[in-house]
Structure formats: structure tokens, C-alpha cells
């Protein structure tokens, strides 16, 4: 059985994370992404900011000691929100679900929210498996699709 772990993101992880986050299909599915996923300088500046912020929690997701994604949380308007990104080579293997379960053991603040493009059925399914429930929708400009789209807001009470 695979061994999953969350650990702090290391500087040595950044090249792989950058590649995960610039994969065109991943960008399309995530939708709400960096303005230019290929801009390494902007990526490095963003990662330096979130890795040094005491209000932001970011972890590397490993499976059998191999980096397979990231998961994190931050405070938005007084509510904790979560996000994750899985290397596309590992989609459909239960990694996001397992990572969320591990994150929810470490971050006990409730309620906790998440957002996903409303047409991203896989991500919505992952969130619902661990107990998140839809509480509304919003429409916003998704840079990963260069269009306004609907996103579903979910909450774990």
C-alpha cells in the first residue's frame, strides 16, 4: 500500500511544482490560476511569499517519498480556505482525497472552505468525499481559460 505524507515545501521542490502548475490540461481544469503559468519569476515570487507567510500553510504531498503535488490553506475574509494541485500523471489515484484527509487532521479550524470550477467534476468529487458540501456559486474570470466561469464554493462545517 502506498505511503502518503505531507511535509513542508522545500526549495528543491520548486522546479517540479512549477512544472506541475504549468501543465496545460491542469491549468485548464484548475481554471483559477496564475496570470501566466509559464512565468518562472512570478511563480518564484509567489512561492517565496506564501512559504514565508505565517498565515499561509503549504505542504508537499508525497507518495512513497515522491513529490506528487501540493496542498495548502490560507485565511480569506476570516475563513480558512484550502487548495491542492496534483501532478497530472497521478490524477485518478486517490491522492487528492488522501492529502485532504491528512490536511484536515492538521488544520482543525472550522468551518473550512474550498472552491472548484463548477465543471471540474473530479475536484468536486474529491472535496465531497471528505465532507465538504456545496454552499453556493460565484462567477469570476478564470485565467486558465481566459473566460468568466462559474465556480462552486464548498464548506466543511
CA distance 116 to 31: 8
Below-50 pLDDT ranges, the chain: none
Specify the pLDDT at position 32.
87
What are 113's three cell numbers?
472552505
Instruction: Indicate the pTM of the whole model.
Output: 0.91
> Residues 90-113, buried b or exposed e (16+ Cβ, 10 A)?
beeeebbbbbbebbbeeeeeeebb
Domains of the chain by start residue, with CATH: 4-112 (3.40.630.30)
Specify the pLDDT at position 55.
86
Specify the pLDDT at position 28.
87
CA distance 45 to 105: 29
Specify the pLDDT at position 137.
97
- Helix residue spans in 1-150 (DSSP H): 14-20, 24-30, 40-52, 95-106, 121-129
List pLDDT tens digits, range 119-131: 999 999 999 999 9
Specify the pLDDT at position 33.
86
Q: 36-43 long-range contacts, Cβ below 8 Å, gap at least 24?
A: 37/144, 43/14, 43/18
- What is the Cβ-side half-sphere exposure of residue 133, based on CA atoms within 13 angstroms? 4
CA distance 43 to 18: 7
Question: Do residues 5 and 98 touch, judged by C-beta distance below 8 A?
Answer: no
Amino acid at each position: 500500500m502506498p505511503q502518503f505524507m505531507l511535509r513542508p515545501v522545500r526549495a528543491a521542490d520548486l522546479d517540479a511544482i512549477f512544472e506541475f502548475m504549468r501543465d496545460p490540461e491542469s491549468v485548464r481544469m484548475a481554471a483559477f490560476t496564475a496570470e501566466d503559468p509559464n512565468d518562472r519569476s512570478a511563480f518564484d515570487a509567489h512561492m517565496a511569499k506564501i512559504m514565508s507567510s505565517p498565515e499561509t500553510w503549504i505542504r508537499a504531498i508525497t507518495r512513497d517519498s515522491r513529490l506528487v503535488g501540493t496542498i495548502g490553506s490560507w485565511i480569506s475574509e476570516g475563513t480558512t480556505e484550502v487548495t491542492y494541485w496534483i501532478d497530472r500523471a497521478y490524477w485518478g489515484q486517490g491522492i487528492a482525497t488522501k492529502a485532504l484527509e491528512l490536511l484536515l487532521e492538521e488544520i482543525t479550524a472550522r468551518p473550512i472552505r474550498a472552491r472548484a470550477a463548477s465543471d471540474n467534476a473530479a475536484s468536486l468529487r474529491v472535496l465531497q468525499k471528505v465532507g465538504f458540501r456545496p454552499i453556493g456559486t460565484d462567477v469570476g474570470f478564470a485565467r486558465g481559460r481566459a473566460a468568466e466561469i462559474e465556480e462552486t464554493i464548498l464548506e466543511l462545517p
